[in-house]
Chains A and B, each alone.
Chain A
Amino acid sequence: MGWAIAVHGGAGDIPLSLPPEKRLPREAGLRRCLDVGIAALKAHNHPLDVVELVVRELENNPHFNAGKGSVLTTSGTVEMEACIMDGKTMKCGAVSGVSTVVNAISLARLVMDKTPHIYLAFDGAEAFAREQGLETVEMSHFITPENIERLKQAQEADRVQLDYTQPIQKEVPKDAALADGDSQIGTVGCVAVDNEGNLATATSTGGIVNKMVGRIGDTPIIGAGTYANHLCAVSATGRGEAIIRGTIARDVAAVMEFKGLSLKEAAAYVIDQVPRGNAGLVAVSSTGEVAMPFNTTGMFRACATEDGYSEIAIWDSPTK
């Protein structure tokens, strides 16, 4: 036993040739968020507070597809969604269609704590945010030049694209086999467990580039992109539509419970069931194990455990 934390910044067709100016800020972001989470765990904060805190940091970082830096809808707008869940109580909160709230994950937390509901969306979510006095800004705050460019490219290619896909060329390069333009990516998430076995998960995203206005992905759907119970906490990333139909996050816990697999085995099993190039997840168990499997080219990720182990990675590493 012991505390453990894992963080992701999105899985997808991250090219091995990713230039340093794109790779370094993200690695630095992951390192920083991991440190924030570790400090919070060491200070005996509840995992629910830890995951919210870490995801807020990721939302504020413009290099990740959540909060500032969110990818754009087909109309050039931002529609963010987020979800949080407490493993012990199974309480959860989710929001979608948020365009002015600086930290969607905190709004999801308030839905969980302050309403009789689990999930609020669009105008209703925005109204609730104002009622609660959450920080709101002009939508332009979230929009980065990188994402305006991504949208332009996606619209030129006229297909749905996700963050971390390589710029679309007239001929799709052969080695971008995973990408018929549809490699999923772009979401941030954090899972944590303290040394009493309390588990929590939080996920936040801008969605997929050029998505239809009103499109909801896996992130706010309990059991798909986000799930926690007394066994484990899971946050998934990738192609939303595949994660929804695979009920990925829920299945990791179900496989542990019903088939008696360890966290690593269960997580690997579930990711294996998803068509290649579509998903990744981070998970921790009540006993302090960590798993970060993915079947995409890469997944921005980091983890740390109380015994001093820590890791930051993008592509395959010997210890996954």
Chain B
Amino acid sequence: MEASIMDGPKRRCGAVSGLSTVKNPVSLARLVMDKSPHSYLAFSGAEDFAKKQGVELVDNEYFITEDNVGMLKLAKEANSILFDYRIPTIGTCGAGAAAMESPLQMNGLPISVYAPETVGCVVVDKEGRCAAATSTGGLMNKMTGRIGDSPLIGSGTYACDLCGVSCTGEGEAIIRSTLAREVGAVMEYKGLNLHEAVDFVIKNRLDEGKAGLIAVSKNGEVACGFNTTGMFRGCATEDGFMEVGVW
């Protein structure tokens, strides 16, 4: 499991990768930020840090669900890697792999319905301070030791004094496009507002990759964008607006 968190005002950040027993990776990422001299800890070093910090640890089995065991089996048989909610492609997935009709089914439904998802949250308070956090198990059937975009500052997570951003989707595409930083960069260097920045980035930065993101700005705006079929999301603002959406 991997996660990262970033605090907009001073751009402090923390990230972790390769966790197997830490119940809440994002909280360990927070501790890396607050209690270590570093920004990013991984694998056994991160697990050791977790023990020293006394965070809640559980057996690896705690995290594993039947659905995921089933999907891994199917993915291995099809020799493919499943992206978050993307219809799996057969064989090695390159940057330009196009979506294909999936023959993979489980319980009569296309497997994409079951594919695991990254989670994230972005927040801005009354004083315009932004923060962002992202957490994930990564890709189904990923190579051991594979790190995706979620723990990478600037890719899956970013916050500065202008905005907070959390991304989800094809990790490799998000990394190549440094997607989260891009929203902030476009606002900072091009002077776009949050909605324009999010639109610009989703439209122009994702080559053939599939991804989505949520973002808030220091002015209290909230925006989301995605070039996938859908993105599970919810948002709320102080004036009472609330929305949950999928497509």
Chosen A-B contacts, 28 in total, with CB atoms closer than 8 Å, are: A90-B207, A92-B175, A97-B43, A115-B92, A116-B92, A116-B93, A118-B171, A118-B175, A118-B176, A119-B146, A124-B145, A125-B145, A212-B36, A212-B49, A213-B44, A213-B48, A216-B17, A216-B38, A216-B39, A216-B41, A222-B178, A223-B181, A224-B153, A240-B38, A241-B38, A244-B39, A245-B11, A245-B12
Interface size class of chain A, counting residues whose CB lies under 8 Å from the partner chain: 35 or more
Q: Which residues of A contact B (CB under 8 A)?
A: 89-92, 94, 96-97, 115-125, 127-128, 160, 211-217, 221-224, 227, 240-241, 244-247, 250-251, 254-255, 257-259
Q: Which residues from B are CB-within-8-Å of A251? A: 181, 185
Q: Confirm or deny: B100 has a beta carbon within 8 angstroms of a beta carbon on chain A.
A: no
> With the chains together, A246 CA to B39 CA distance in Å?
12
Q: Which of B41, B43, B92 has the most chain A CB atoms closer than 10 A to its own CB?
A: B43
Beyond A121-B18, A247-B178, is A221–B38 a contact (Cβ under 8 Å)?
no
> With the chains together, A241 CA to B154 CA distance in Å?
13
Contact B144–A124 (Cβ < 8 Å): yes
User: Mask for B195-216, Cβ within 8 A of A = 1, else 0?
Assistant: 0000000000001000000000
> With the chains together, A89 CA to B43 CA distance in Å?
30
Number of interface residues of B (CB under 8 A): 50
Contact B189–A214 (Cβ < 8 Å): no
Contact A120–B178 (Cβ < 8 Å): no
Beyond A117-B172, A216-B40, A221-B154, is A128–B145 a contact (Cβ under 8 Å)?
yes
Q: Which residues from A are CB-within-8-Å of B182? A: 254
> With the chains together, A1 CA to B119 CA distance in Å?
45
Min CB gap A269→B, angstroms: 10
Contact A215–B153 (Cβ < 8 Å): no
User: Mask for B77-100, Cβ within 8 A of A = 1, else 0?
Assistant: 000010000000000111100000
| Minimal Cβ-Cβ distance residue in A for B185 | A254
Contact B143–A120 (Cβ < 8 Å): yes
Contact B39–A241 (Cβ < 8 Å): yes
> With the chains together, A125 CA to B17 CA distance in Å?
13
Which listed residue, A123, A124, A222, touches B155 by the CB 8 Å rule? Answer: A222
Q: Which residues from A are CB-within-8-Å of B233? A: none
Q: Which residues from B are CB-within-8-Å of A117? A: 142-143, 146, 172
Q: Which residues from B are CB-within-8-Å of A128? A: 143, 145
